[in-house]
Amino acid sequence: MKLHGYYRSSTSYRLRIALELKGLAFENVPVNLLESAQKDAAFTSRNPFASVPMLEADGRDRAQSMALIEWLDEAYPAKPLLPADIEARYTARELAYAIATELHAPLNLPVLKYLKEEYGKSPGEIGEWYRHWLARTLVPVEQRLEQLGTGDFLFDAPGLFETVLVPQLYNARRFEYDLSASPRMTRIEAACLALEPFRRAHPDNQNDNPQRETS
């Protein structure tokens, strides 16, 4: 398998976590979003969405991270990311898709660049935008976790929800979002980051992280 992605992309990060949790070997192929490499003709001829991640697997190029994660679970059923119980699967999807569908669209790089270039928004104003939309979704996610009485993970081990949550909290910290009122989420995050699959998937440990290359 080859995973075409960007070290700081939350969607690429969630795919790395999913692959690591399932114990699937893959090659990380950098796509520099800051240089618009995802828009190159050679890339868009394979992935018309012009987005990352793109996964080369079983003779096909696949895009869209959430569809990819569920495909991985179906194609490689060992070490499932979704629980067997139908209600537990629903809960995992409810929380994961709340983050993936409500936050990715208003907070991805093209939107932030558009705010800057077309509307002249300052870094401070863009940060306010980012934190506003984070709160709109992360506050109710925290409330749902409290209702469920979660501990270190949503269920007994990390799965679909954690693959989506951890990258989003990584980006939340980059934009100085206050997580002090999110003890359930941060407890899950800490428990995940103590595990080797999450450490290997972390942006700090990717071959296209410029700080890693120069350290």
Question: Are 190 and 139 within one domain?
Answer: yes
> Sign of the C-alpha dihedral, residues 53, 57, 62, 67?
negative
Which CATH number is 72's domain given? Answer: 3.40.30.10
pLDDT at 174: 93
Q: What is the mean pLDDT of each run of 10 residues along the chain (215 residues)?
A: 97 98 97 94 96 96 97 97 97 98 90 93 95 97 98 98 98 95 98 98 96 60
Question: Are 160 and 104 within one domain?
Answer: yes
- Tell which phi-psi region holds residue 155, choosing left (phi > 0), alpha (psi between -120 and 50) or beta: beta
pLDDT at 190: 98
Of 80, 111, 127, at which residue does a domain stop? Answer: 80
Question: Are 173 and 109 within one domain?
Answer: yes
Question: Are 59 and 111 within one domain?
Answer: no
185: in domain:
yes
Which domain does 29 fall in, by range? 2-80
Question: Are 34 and 94 within one domain?
Answer: no
Q: What share of the chain is helix, strand, coil (3-state, %, to 5)?
A: 60, 5, 30
205: in domain:
no
Q: Which residues of 152-181 are buried (b: 16+ CB within 10 A; e: fewer)?
A: ebbbeebbbbbbbbbbbbbbbeebebeeee
pTM of the model: 0.93
Question: Are 56 and 90 within one domain?
Answer: no
23: in domain:
yes
pLDDT at 110: 87
pLDDT at 109: 87
pLDDT at 212: 76
